[in-house]
């Protein structure tokens, strides 16, 4: 299974995070989401979003002004072990 990808380039805050949040709601726990963004503020936004939501920001990088965020989907709220 590969990563789902969201191309949020050229969107301003908070759109990249909102699109990621929507996608993560429909993903299984442990699935990966790759988000591409160009807004420099998205680094802080995704760190905060993952910390608050419980999703794991596995990695992020920047190449030629494009930020790539790899996020692992958390267990849904209220899920039992």
User: For tokens 């790539």, what's the residue?
Assistant: 68
pTM (2 d.p.): 0.89
End-to-end CA distance of the chain: 23
Closest CA to 3 of 35, 37, 26, 33: 33
- pLDDT for 45-57, tens place per residue? 999 999 999 999 9
Query: How many residues does this entry show for the chain?
Result: 81
As a whole number of angstroms, the distance between CA 81 and CA 60 comes to 29
As a whole number of angstroms, the distance between CA 31 and CA 55 comes to 10
pLDDT value of residue 77: 59
Structural domains of the chain, with CATH: 4-72 (3.30.110.40)
Q: Answer yes or no: is pLDDT of 80 > 60.
A: no
Task: Give me the active site residues, please.
Answer: 13
- pLDDT for 6-50, tens place per residue? 999 999 989 999 999 999 999 999 999 999 999 999 999 999 999
């Amino acid at each position: 299974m590969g990563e789902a990808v969201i191309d949020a380039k050229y969107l301003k805050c908070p759109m990249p995070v909102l699109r990621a949040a929507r996608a993560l709601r429909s993903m299984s726990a442990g699935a990966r989401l790759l988000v591409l963004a160009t807004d420099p503020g998205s680094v802080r936004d995704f760190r905060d979003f993952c910390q608050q939501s419980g999703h794991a920001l596995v990695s992020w990088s920047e190449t030629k002004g494009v930020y790539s965020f790899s996020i692992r989907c958390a267990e849904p709220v209220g899920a039992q072990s």
